[in-house]
Amino acid sequence: MNLAVFVGTKGRGSNLMAIHDAITAGRLNARIVAVVGTDSAAPALERARGAGLPVRVVPAKGRDAAGYADALVDALREAGADAIALAGYLRILPEAVVDGWRHRIVNIHPALLPAFGGKGMYGHHVHEAVIAYGAKVSGCTAHLVDRDYDTGPVILQRTVAVEDDDTPDILAARLLPVEHATFVEALQLLADGRLKVEGRRVLVEPRRPN
């Protein structure tokens, strides 16, 4: 699977590195053909360069939505990407990308969707809301990406406990390794061609005999 990994401007790049490490260890049957970001100085892009991964900076600023969409599609085609992973990329993807890579785009969200998702619900804000609500379990969701924030069909979900004395940082730290493992597992299911989408549901088909 030729994978493009989209990163955010503020993210640490830990999901990107978890994907890269899984590929290096033979746990994910893919090749990172592009690490895409809007800001060249983003910490996650610095980590990508440090790991020798191909970086493509596609700025959104100074372009209208159509111009940004065209530039992204060109970058993905040039890189030969046949699947996309959103690893801390916080923008809505242009329709041309969602439609062009339909059911081949996976996002990881640090909560059990549909709860604690949507516009503005990312990173610290999510864990703050989970604790403030008094939830007893939290978790992460790997899902296919559609035209809105965090609303695509769910591939995998994993849970963690919320402890009474948790702070958002403590909860985030407990969840992060679970996110990494869940993201890699979902991408491997995609690489194996084992995801079948029926309406809103994603069914995992049995492993095909070799």
Query: Catalytic amino acids?
Result: 109
Q: How far apart are CA 43 and CA 49, in angstroms?
A: 10
CA distance 143 to 93: 14
Residue among 195, 203, 191, 201 nearest 84 (CA): 191
Tell me the closest approach of the beta carbon of residue 16 to ligand GRF, in angstroms: 6
Report the site for ligand GRF in 5-44 (rule: CB under 6 A). 11-15, 44
- The interface with ligand GRF within residues 105-144 (CB under 6 A) comprises 108-110, 122-123
Give me the least distance between CB of 74 and ligand GRF, in Å please. Answer: 25
Please, which of residues 172-191 interact with ligand GRF by CB under 6 A? 179
User: By CB under 6 A, is residue 87 in contact with ligand GRF?
Assistant: yes
Q: Helical H runs in 118-167?
A: 124-133
Provide the minimum distance between the beta carbon of 32 and ligand GRF in the complex, in angstroms, as a whole number. Answer: 14
Our measurement of the distance from residue 154's CA atom to the centroid of its chain's CA atoms, rounded to an integer in Å, reads 12
Tell me the backbone φ, ψ of residue 128, rounded to 5 degrees.
-60, -45
* Residue (70 or 168) nearer to ligand GRF, CB: 168
**CB hemisphere CA count around 109 (13 angstroms):** 30
Q: Where along the sequence are the contacts to ligand GRF (CB under 6 A)?
A: 11-15, 44, 87-88, 108-110, 122-123, 179
